A and B are shown apart, each in its own frame.
Chain A
Amino acid sequence: MTNKTLLNVSDLRMQFGGLVAVNGVNLRVEEGQIVSIIGPNGAGKTTVFNCLSGFYTPTSGVVEFMGEEIQKLPDFKISLKGMVRTFQHVRLFNEMTVVENLLVAQHRHSNTNLLSGLFNTPAYKKSEERAMHRARYWLDKVGLTDVANREAGNLSYGQQRRLEIARCMVTEPKLLLLDEPAAGLNPKETKDLDNLIVSLKEDYHVSVLLIEHDMNLVMGISDNIYVINQGTPLASGTPEEIKGNPDVIKAYLGEV
């Protein structure tokens, strides 16, 4: 593999008072890879995500994104660098329409100059058109065109999940962090999600870091899997290696 390393996390540690939530976690995502983090409930997977996306400042450790240390940056700057996340519980702008959700997400691409907006200059019009165009493209892609002018809060759960991913995609990220995207989806919706994630990787060259409990999904699409248990790394490797790892089975099922 001649791929470049996109994300490199070494010795990540997050401590809340006396509680060590994450201890010594190492991660590596290459360009064009889908990497999964699995582990039992409360293992600290989401805490890792929060550290990576800047919602927490890690107690120690280094997070390198595209060769740059980002562990001290505020959350919105990390997102601007091209690492965008979704949430375990869907966080949409519920009272805004589906299209508006996608337009808001393109804030950084839009012309935010107040005067050019007030006077509706050609440059401003063009930037708005571009935003609309991109929103429309992603609505088609995730199959939400019919509900484009519906309020996001009124969508079904599966649609909300898809909208959240589309909302990340319009920001044109390099790395997408998905926090349990299949939670609450029925088998068909999970299948669609599977296809969508693969397509993001193949067609849009976006790398994906995934937290998921649905083992079929994880084993099917991951290039690499990290297992975390009680905040510490337990194992890592390809899906085949993980499936056969007795430690992992023990952590999930208990002592046999």
Chain B
Amino acid sequence: MKSNFSHAVFTAIITFIVSFPLLGLNLVTGGTSMSIEGAGPTTWMYIGAAVAIVFFFQLFRDQFTGLFRHIPKPSFNTGYQSLEPAKKAKVENWFTFAIILIALVWPFMVSRGSIDLATLVLIYVMLGLGLNIVVGLAGLLDLGYVAFYAVGAYSYALLSLYYDISFWLALPIAGIMAALFGFLLGFPVLRLRGDYLAIVTLGFGEIIRIFLLNATSLTGGPNGIGGIDKPTLFGMEFGRRVKEEGNTLFHEVMGISYDSTYKVIFLYLLALILVVITVFVIRRLVRMPVGRAWEALREDEIACRSLGMNRTVIKLSAFTIGAAFAGFAGCFFAARQGFISPESFTFIESAIILAIVVLGGMGSQMGVILAAIAMTVLPELAREFQEYRMLMFGLMMVLMMVWRPQGLLPSKRPHLELADDK
């Protein structure tokens, strides 16, 4: 108690020393001169309160931390864990099927805003799954992932602007372009690991964004590119009037009256299809030799080399394939928004995508999907507390790390049946 007391006095004094000049003194400009003025009584009260809070918190620190420890941890254990592997796979298959079914049906029952939000979630799911290859599986910390997203988005925007290429043709091109950039980034960072790799990828992300910002004649710089064509369904447009020669209108073909919700639902379903394809492709990749090699590389690079695996090829494939998914997501993003500017591709986006991967549990697909939902929906729900959004974001992260450092749904090792063939 005594050491706590002296510690509390000390921290209170420090608090006062720090807060007094910051809050208690004001610079006032009067005409040409400047003078320092003391603070009013309210500010003094605040400073006093801050000092008191710090003092009492430090004094009763042990009790507080004790209290914190007694907060019950949410239990994630269910009977599911103890199931047999074969049954587990069956349950999982049904589960996936049910989720897809619900995802297909529900846009017809909810509001337009919800569908829009869900579409955004799906974009983040795709980004999260793509980054999961690089960070979760191959263990290469990539802080500039948003660059590939930007490449995909700008690929479609520019192709549509200059060459009038449709969304469906641009989609694979955007993926290939992003993959190409992933490949290019992969080369200089082959020898880097950990922190060094993170810094270089961070720089790469910024280079792409700043290039887009400054190449005004090509990309419109900070003004961005607007009027990007929306995707069509077999030549059917979802607008009120036909924008492009030769296209038809969805509501006319179907013989229904125009409703702007159709477009939103269409975009949602399109995103859903892209996500489902992404999930299945990555699920297969993980079980393939290349996926195993990624994980082996994460575990022990030297052992990989000693077994005759070419780490150059493995690393580049992780970067390339991971980037391709960001390219698809970017292309879709540009089509949905109809307008893109470098502002959509700042570092904070990379950080959010990375947070999705880490929160979900490295390498786990289901976890990434859950985390993407949480990371996108929660800020929307908390719109009234917009100013505190970052604070809540931080709090959520801290609580997650305390309760569940391995992520929401940590990846489980596949259980391989040893075929009985003696």
By a beta-carbon cutoff of 8 Å, the part of chain A in contact with chain B is: 53, 55, 75-77, 79-80, 84-85, 87, 91-97, 99-100, 103-105, 107-108, 110-112, 114, 117-118, 120, 129, 132-133, 136, 139, 145, 148-149, 151, 167-168, 171
Contacts and interface: CB of A to CB of B under 8 A. Distances in A.
B191 interface: no
- Chain B interface, >50% SS class: helix
Nearest to B289: A110
Interface residues of B, number: 29
B243 interface: no
A97 B411 CA distance: 13
B284 A92 contact: no
Nearest to B307: A105
B290 A114 contact: yes
A148 B299 CA distance: 18
A183 to B, nearest CB: 17
Contact of B418 (A87, A99, A112, A171): A99
B421 interface: yes
Interface string B303-314: 111111111000
B308 A79 contact: yes
A77 B293 CA distance: 16
Contact of B299 (A84, A96, A103): A96
Which of B293, B295, B307, B309 has the most A CB atoms < 10 Å from its CB? B307
A108 B300 contact: no
Given A91-B302, A95-B299, A100 B290 contact: no
A149 B88 CA distance: 15
A34 to B, nearest CB: 20
B415 interface: yes
A112 B291 CA distance: 10
Given A111-B289, A117-B284, A117-B290, A97 B300 contact: no
Nearest to B413: A97
A91 B300 contact: yes
Nearest to B416: A99
Nearest to A95: B299
Interface of B: 281, 284-285, 288-290, 292-293, 295-296, 299-300, 302-311, 413-416, 418-419, 421
Given A92-B300, A136-B419, A75 B306 contact: yes
Contacts, number: 116
Given A104-B292, A136-B419, A149 B307 contact: no
A84 B305 CA distance: 10
B289 A136 contact: no
A53 B300 CA distance: 17
A4 B114 CA distance: 74
17 contacts: A76-B306, A79-B307, A84-B307, A92-B300, A92-B303, A93-B299, A94-B299, A95-B295, A96-B295, A100-B292, A103-B292, A104-B307, A118-B281, A118-B285, A136-B419, A149-B416, A171-B307
Nearest to B311: A76
B413 A117 contact: no
A75 B299 CA distance: 18
Contacts of B305: 55, 75-76, 79
A116 to B, nearest CB: 9
Contact of A148 (B290, B296, B300, B418): B418
Given A76-B307, A79-B307, A110-B289, 9 more contacts: A76-B306, A93-B296, A93-B299, A97-B413, A97-B416, A104-B304, A104-B307, A107-B289, A171-B308
A133 B419 contact: yes
A171 B302 CA distance: 16
A189 B302 CA distance: 26
Contact of A84 (B292, B302, B308): B308
Contact of B300 (A76, A93, A112): A93
B419 A117 contact: no
Nearest to B302: A91
B308 A80 contact: yes
A97 B307 CA distance: 17
A108 B299 contact: no
A103 B289 CA distance: 8
Contacts of B300: 91-94
Contacts of A96: 292, 295-296, 299, 413
A145 B306 contact: no
4 cross-chain pairs, A with B, having the tightest CB-CB distances, nearest first: A79-B308, A93-B299, A117-B288, A91-B303
Contacts of A97: 413-416
Contact of B307 (A120, A139, A145, A167): A167
A153 B310 CA distance: 24
Contacts of A87: 302-303, 306
Contact of B289 (A91, A92, A112, A168): A112
B308 A93 contact: no
A85 B418 contact: no
A57 B92 CA distance: 50
B302 to A, nearest CB: 6
A149 B413 CA distance: 8
Contact of B308 (A55, A92, A108, A111): A108
A76 B309 contact: yes
Nearest to B280: A118
A175 to B, nearest CB: 13
A107 B309 contact: yes
Contacts of B413: 95-97, 100, 149, 151
Contacts of B281: 118
Nearest to B85: A149
A72 B258 CA distance: 71
A108 B416 CA distance: 20
A145 B418 contact: yes
Contacts of B416: 97, 99-100, 132, 148-149
B409 to A, nearest CB: 16
B293 A104 contact: yes
B131 to A, nearest CB: 19
A176 to B, nearest CB: 11
A251 B240 CA distance: 92
